[in-house]
Structure 1
Amino acid sequence: MSVKWLSLLLLLQLNCYFSSGSCGKVLVWPVEYSHWINVKTILDELVTRGHEVTVLTSQASVLIDPSKPSAIKFEIFPTLLTKDDFENTIKHMLDNWTYMVKDSFWTYFSTVQSIFGEFFDMQMKVCKDVVSNKKFMTKLHESRFDVVLADAIGPCGELLAEVLQIPLVYSLRFSPGFSLEKYGGKLPLPPSYVPVIMSELGDQMTFMERVKNMMYVLYFDFWFQTFNEKKWNQFYSEVLGRPTTLLETVGKADMWLIRTFWDFEFPRPLLPNFEFVGGLHCKPAKPLPKEMEEFVQSSGEDGIVVFTLGSIVTNITEERANVIASALAQIPQKVLWRYHGKKPDTLGPNTRLYKWIPQNDLLGHPKTKAFITHGGTNGIYEAIYHGIPMVGIPLFADQPDNIAHMMAKGAAVRLDFNKMSTTDLLNALKQVINNPSYKQNAMRLSTIQHDQPMKPLDRAVFWIEFVMRHKGAKHLRPAAHDLTWYQYHSLDVTGFLLACVATAVFVITKCCLFCCQKFPKAGKKNKRE
């Protein structure tokens, strides 16, 4: 670490010491790619406020670079995985997900399950390398951290929090079928009006859509396995030295920071230890590089279109690239396209290719008319923040669902990456740019995003600091965690009440039968007399 960064870190620590005295030590268990980009925004703010932030990262990390000057500390642990192993596994997973045929429900979700299985198997190897390293774990114990901040989609953070006996705060966008939120966090999700994640449904469902949603609920509850529960439960039990499960350990989280907000979400029940912090990374646009600004200004009244498929996908097949380039060449707007592959043969003079673009700054530029996006949460929130309508080309994970949300809000049009033609993309762009309702709806969402009593980043940091100050937040944790599944659904109470009713009916029936047998006999006696 350079002298400059050491001085800055010392200054922040002294500031904390002489001011509130409430600065703490935060241990971070991150996930790579866009997840890291999001959580790093929180970490930078924590450091600015004087907290000591330590990020656990393996030697196989792709995006997290501890060698770069930073006020954030990095603890690097050895792992059997290499960087090439990690990159190749991720590339294989995403290629399978992006280019697979989505015509069959069973085939699609079977493939998705195997992809998640591959990711979680890799995650388990890394986790084992951490917790089995006694010297490394002793060092973490001696550091006396105040809280663990973990990405819930990458298991191990909750295990570290349990081993170190410190509070846990989660950062999460989603888990397949809401499995972690529902069974780990006990979040109520009524299927009658809350669409299951990955179902691509809205909250205004017809009868048949509610049937479809219920089928998704049953599928994710009883068939789809996000992770191999038996393996993870056994692993956690061995480490903790007592019988436990992954979901039980997940359920001990003090706070869940969900990376969306009501401008994106459909109204649904929340628990007090769940907090929306969507858009925490968004900020006002900065000036563009000179050459890029000149190209943008050359668009005149027509404006520009920004096109990127996110931080992971940097290349696509030549055939798809030519289909896209051909459509872009036919619009009057100038296009800035983040693209790494071979230059498409059909690329028009109005389109420029960049290996990297300042996405937030471009979306905040007054000449931006539309955003062609894969539907990642970070990109969608930047578009919402700046009020830019979207053409969604979802590829994998939560992206189809994200675009479905934006379509329901009237701020996006969706296309199928593998099936769309040049005409499809051209028509979608014309629709989003020329139909004023898309811009109006995007601006409405932007207004909601900006109209909050506290900024999302401040809210996220507040709750992390709150958990540190109070050594947890168990008073926000619902009693549902202490109930069995049949108690949670009141099946025991229902059974008891049914038994009471049945008993009452039985007793009344017996009494009636007894009376009927007695009174006829009395009547016959009177007649004889």
Structure 2
Amino acid sequence: MTPFSQNMVSVSLWITVTILFGSLCDGGKILVVPVEGSHWMNMDMLIKTLHGQGHSIDVIRTYNSWFVKENSTYYNSITIPNTTGMDEEFVDDMLSKLFDQERGKRYWLNAVWLYFDMISNMYKLHKMVCQLITNMFESEEIMKALHENQYDLMLTDPAWGAGIFLAHELKLPMVYNVRWTTTGEGHFDITPSLMSYIPVTGSGNSDKMNFFQRVKNFFYYFHMNFQYSYFNLPQYQALCDKYFHPPVRFHQLLQGADIWLMRVDFVFEIPRPTMPNIIYIGGFQCKPAKALPQDLEDFMQSSGEHGVIVMSLGAFIGDLPDDFTAEIAAAFAQLPQKVIWRYTGKRPSTLGNNTLLVDWMPQNDLLGHPKTKVFIAHGGTNGVQEALYHGIPLVGIPFLFDQYDNLIRLQERGGAKIVTIATLDKKTLHAAIQEVINEPSYRLSMQRLSHLHKDKPVKPFDSALFWIEFVMRHKGAAHLRTESYKLPWYSYYSVDVAVTLFAVVLIFTLSIFLAVRYLCVKCCCRKRKTE
């Protein structure tokens, strides 16, 4: 047995003992700063289990929080007054502009307007977060209470910067529940990421790029850094300069987390360099399907041999333009399958008798049902990974953020078919559904990926709990954390070394040239004197 195998067996046994006999870490105090939407759903699962392990959990929330409830049986909420966060109105505005652009209502200025709209929306979002930070730091009562609580750990989602600020102020070890940071995709902040084979989010590239795709990749990398450097970073850095002495760089704080619980794994993610403090927990929220409520079970069984199609567009998207939903409903009406569609908007006029509209659905349990044939989804990480876990092929309709890139990864692996907002109508959607259902390769590809995902020595959820408590037991994980983030850019890329070596070679070469030239001149002078 190799040393690596022995180490994996040891870790597996350690985690098994922890799960069987309870936490090996005395009940500690954990401060949580989450992000709204599907990010909160992931964090909520961790919080529930940590509470069950005997830990005390405090959660920071805005007073109008969309998902984080003020009253809970398994955490204590700390509501920051006079703060607003991302809410339904904010998301609806983004979606409205997106539909105007994609459906051709802004003509040739479409892409330009959408680009500036997205930058503006992200700026506003991070401005809200900075106001949250300011309100906390300016409140003596809140900060005194946080200091007196003597927390053992900060658990946060770095897509927002508030948790990073509090961890530095309270001098807490920090664990990320991460896919995104304030800069973009998390790997770009901590691991070497070469543009030649690592696609930038938004580029639509895979890891197999030709020359023009690599040019496009560089363009999107430039755009990502431009947005962060000129719109997001200055807001956070201004607060660092105001509240922290001695001064500290925000990006250094961002990179300094002890453990990064990364919500992907390499069945889904592309192969790339990584770091020892990145722990891959992709699909940790997935679990075997439970029995459905009787009304849903009856609906599933009534589908006969044709089966059922499940459609959900995620936590944020509950309402869509009427013409768009009419096309979707018309496509469903032509299918022999039955459809369960999570949709809270106006009932489409073209809805067929085979389609059931619901306000809520047990998505994981539906995807694990033997009658489910296809999952129609927007491409959010949670939904994609649940489909992968249960081996269900997708028809993807991406809207925002990373959704298109998530679906590209599955499409490249043979498990998904993408239909864009711009091209979606009843014909294209119907054709895509028929292709995914009737072509066996889609289901076979997803089942193969599902087997790979499940074939692990330690379950992702158990791994996440282990490493959170590991950081609590050892007051951090500095031995796993690279110090590269403390280097200036010219040292990180060895520019100073290259310049020095170049200068040495240049001086040496120039010295030889001058010496030879001097000897030649001397020889010529002596020859002339002799003559």
**Structure-2-length-normalised TM-score:** 0.90
- Secondary structure in 2 aligned to 1:228? helix
Indicate whether 1:230 and 2:228 are aligned.
no
Summarize the Cα distance change of 1:95–1:466 in structure 2 as closer, same or farther, 3 Å threshold: farther
Q: One-letter code of the match for 1:323?
A: E
Aligned pair in 2 of structure 1 residues 105, 176: CA closer, same or farther (>3 Å)?
A: farther
Where in structure 2 are the equivalents of 1:146-157 lying within 5 Å? 146-157=152-163
- Which residue in 1 is equivalent to 2:5? none
Amino acid at match of 2:347: K
1:170 is matched by which residue type in structure 2? Y
Aligned mate of 1:495, from 494, 499, 510:
499
- Aligned residues of 1:180 and 1:250 also touching (Cα < 8 A): no
Q: Choose from 74, 79, 101 the match for 1:71.
A: 74
- Sequence identity of aligned pairs in percent? 38
- Residues 89-488 of structure 1: pairs in structure 2 closer than 5 A: 89-101=90-102, 106-175=112-181, 178=184, 181-182=187-188, 185-222=189-226, 225=229, 227-488=231-492
Assess if the C-alpha contact under 8 Å between 1:117 and 1:226 holds in 2: no
2:128 maps to a residue whose letter is M
Task: Determine if contact 2:179/2:186 at 8 Å carries over to the other structure.
Answer: no
Structure 1 contact 16–23 (Cα < 8 Å) conserved: no
Q: What SS does the aligned partner of 1:22 have?
A: coil
CA deviations 1:274-333 (Å, max 9, x no partner) are 222111110000111111111111111111100011111111111111100111111111
Q: Structure 1 residue 515: deviation in Å?
A: 3.4
Q: What is the distance in 1 between the residues matched to 2:404 and 2:263?
A: 16
Cα deviation for residue 71 of structure 1 reads 2.2
> What SS does the corresponding residue of 2:59 show, helix, strand or coil?
strand
CA distance in 2, matches of 1:364, 1:59: 37
CA contact (8 A) 1:175 1:181 kept: no
What is the CA distance between 1:499 and its match in structure 2? 0.4
Code of the residue aligned with 1:91 in structure 2: it is: D
CA-CA distance at 1:89 after TM superposition? 2.7
State the SS of the aligned residue for 1:39: helix
For structure 2, the residue ranges without an aligned partner over 5 or more in a row are 1-18
Matches of 1:370 and 1:55 in 2, distance apart?
37
CA distance in 2, matches of 1:278, 1:43: 17
Q: Which runs of 5+ in 1 are unaligned?
A: 1-14
Q: What one-letter code is carried by the residue in structure 2 that aligns with 1:79?
A: N
Work out the CA distance in 1 between the residues paired with 2:20 and 2:141: 30
Which AA in structure 1 matches 2:120?
A: S
Shift of 1:96: 2.9
Q: In 2, distance between residues paired with 1:210 and 1:60?
A: 43
Match of 2:27 among 23, 29, 52: 23
Give the number of equivalent residue pairs.
Answer: 508
SS in 2 for 1:153: coil
Q: Distance in 2 between matches of 1:313 and 1:225?
A: 30
Q: Bigger shift: 152-161 or 510-519?
A: 510-519
> 1:432 & 1:229 partners in 2: Cα distance?
43
Displacement, 1:481? 2.0
Counterpart of 1:514 in 2: which secondary structure? helix
Counterpart residue identity of residue 279, structure 2: E
For the 8 Å contact 1:113–1:224, the answer to whether it is kept is no
- Kept after mapping to 1: 8 A contact 2:396/2:416: yes
Deviations for 1:219-278, whole angstroms, at most 9, x for unmatched residues?
A: 322455584322321112212244233212212211111111111110000111222211
State the alpha-carbon separation in 2 of the partners of residues 486 and 393 from structure 1. Answer: 42
Which letter does structure 2 place at the counterpart of 1:41?
A: M
Distance 1:239 1:180 in 2: 26
Determine if contact 2:26/2:54 at 8 Å carries over to the other structure.
Answer: no
- Contact 1:363 1:386 survives alignment (8 Å): yes
Match 2:517 to one of 483, 507, 513: 513
Which one-letter code corresponds to 1:149 in the other structure?
A: L
Question: Residues 227 and 52 from structure 1, CA distance in 2 versus in 1: closer, same or farther, beyond 3 angstroms?
Answer: farther
CA contact (8 A) 2:300 2:371 kept: yes
Q: Which amino acid aligns with 1:481?
A: Y
Check 1:20–1:203 CA distance in 2 against 1; reply closer, same or farther (3 A cut).
Answer: closer
**Distance in 2 (alpha carbons) for counterparts of 1:177 and 1:506:** 45
Shift of the 453–231 alpha-carbon distance from structure 1 to 2, 3 Å rule, reads: same
What is the alpha-carbon distance in structure 2 between the residues aligned to residue 19 and residue 273 of structure 1?
21
Q: Write the distance in 1 (CA, Å) between the matches of 2:24 and 2:475.
A: 17
Deviation at 1:353, TM superposition (A): 0.7
